[in-house]
Amino acid sequence: MMDIQNLQTFLAVAKLGSFTKAAEQNFISPTAVMKQINKLESELDCTLLERSSAGIRLKPEGEVFLTYAQQLIELSHEAYLACHKATNQVLTLRLGTSLLHPSRPFLSIWNRIKDKLPQYSLTIVQLPSDLVTQNREYEALGKTCDILIGTFDQATTHTLVDAVPLGSYRFSIAVRSDNPLAEKDLLAIKDLENQHLLMVPKGISHKNDLLRAQMEKELAHCQILETPGRYSLDTFNAAIDKNAALINLTPWEDIHPGLVSIPLATDITVDYGILAAKDAPSRVKEFLSTIRYQLLTQMGEYGPVTPVEEKP
């Protein structure tokens, strides 16, 4: 019997034309993607993808199977929902929210697709403010809430959560209004020379570590101040008290009225999405699977895959 997860991975590869991009979409490694595709091809006893130095392309067998794979996934979701519909059961999920984990990025998407998921409903719950561990927001998953919207990366959260990517946040620099940097419309890293930079310690965020390394390379005179762990409201107060330049992200730009956020010129971004506990119950896992599928199919109709410069 074919694994639904393998089918979803195949659809992602077919749509995105890349093992790497499909891995990012499904929050797994490229190696895991290739293993899933190999297993699927073994079960079907045929080759679905043409792999070459020019990239990845659907073979005729793959084009035929693509439609069936999509139908199998849809039937799987319909069967799950029908079982609960038979008892008029509505599956309610708790969506955690806070100033640091706003739910708005997902709610705009949810409002567009919720009619296709009539058996699910969302209730908004406030995340507790007294969690003190480095991964405090993840502690709420499965306890205070079922899902939340937050940042993630392969290096630091792969073992902690399951995630459905929704987009990327950009970095900015938050400073007091009396800091000369507050007058600028865009900051280059070199503009941070002689500043006190406030950021999370190494090892908490892979993308922050990349940005930190870039700053340490380009800045001759700057002092890095580390927070005790991930950001809290105290972090923004500390930026005010210490007159420090805080490494900030898009959703947090208006959290503190005493800080002005200026976009930072860097190609480094931070992925965000729907997060759930690794050991979440089946209703939560099915919800994530359904949302992932809806997001993928909303990207357009499946068709010929444009070759990419990638070899498995």
| pLDDT attached to residue 56 | 86
- Our measurement of the distance from residue 22's CA atom to the centroid of its chain's CA atoms, rounded to an integer in Å, reads 13
CA distance 259 to 75: 50
| pLDDT attached to residue 257 | 93
Domain residue extents for the chain: 1-89+281-312, 91-165, 168-269
| pLDDT attached to residue 57 | 87
pLDDT tops 80 at residue 27: no
pLDDT tops 50 at residue 158: yes
| pLDDT attached to residue 312 | 37
- The model's confidence at residue 133, banded by pLDDT at 50, 70 and 90, is very low
The model's pLDDT over 279-312, given as tens digits with 9 standing for 90+, comes to: 888 889 889 988 988 887 764 433 333 333 333 3
The model's pLDDT over 232-284, given as tens digits with 9 standing for 90+, comes to: 889 999 999 999 999 999 999 999 999 999 999 999 999 899 999 888 888 89
Q: Above pLDDT 70, what percent of the chain?
A: 86
Answer yes or no: are the C-beta atoms of 189 and 163 closer than 8 Å.
no
- The model's confidence at residue 205, banded by pLDDT at 50, 70 and 90, is confident
DSSP letter for each residue of the chain: ---HHHHHHHHHHHHH--HHHHHHHHTS-HHHHHHHHHHHHHHHTS--EEEETTEEEE-HHHHHHHHHHHHHHHHHHHHHHHHHHTTT--EEEEEEE-SSS-SHHHHHHHHHHGGG-TTEEEEEEEPPS---STTHHHHTBTTTBSEEEEE--HHHHTTTEEEEEEEEEEEEEEEETTSGGGG-SSB-GGGGTTPEEEEPPTTS-HHHHHHHHHHHHH-SS-EEEE-SSS--HHHHHHHHHTT-EEEEEGGGTTS-TTEEEEEB--S-EEEEEEEEETT--HHHHHHHHHHHHHHHHTT----PPPP-S---
CA distance 285 to 199: 33
The angle formed by the CA atoms of residues 138, 143 and 145, to the nearest 5 degrees, is 75
CA distance 187 to 265: 6
Average pLDDT of the residues of the chain: 84
Mean pLDDT of the region 182-190: 96
**Of 91-95, 124-128, 198-202, which gets the smallest average pLDDT?**
124-128
Mean pLDDT of the region 174-184: 95
Q: Which are the contacts of 7, defined by CB distance < 8 A and separation ≥ 6? A: 40, 69, 72, 73
| pLDDT attached to residue 301 | 37
pLDDT tops 90 at residue 156: no
pLDDT tops 60 at residue 41: yes
Mean pLDDT of the region 170-180: 96
Q: What architecture does CATH give domain 168-269? A: 3-Layer(aba) Sandwich (3.40)
Mean pLDDT of the region 98-126: 89
Name the token pair of 162.
């399951």
Antiparallel, parallel or unpaired: β 161-176 and 91-97: unpaired
pLDDT tops 60 at residue 61: yes
Q: What is the third-level CATH fold of 1-89+281-312? A: Arc Repressor Mutant, subunit A (1.10.10)
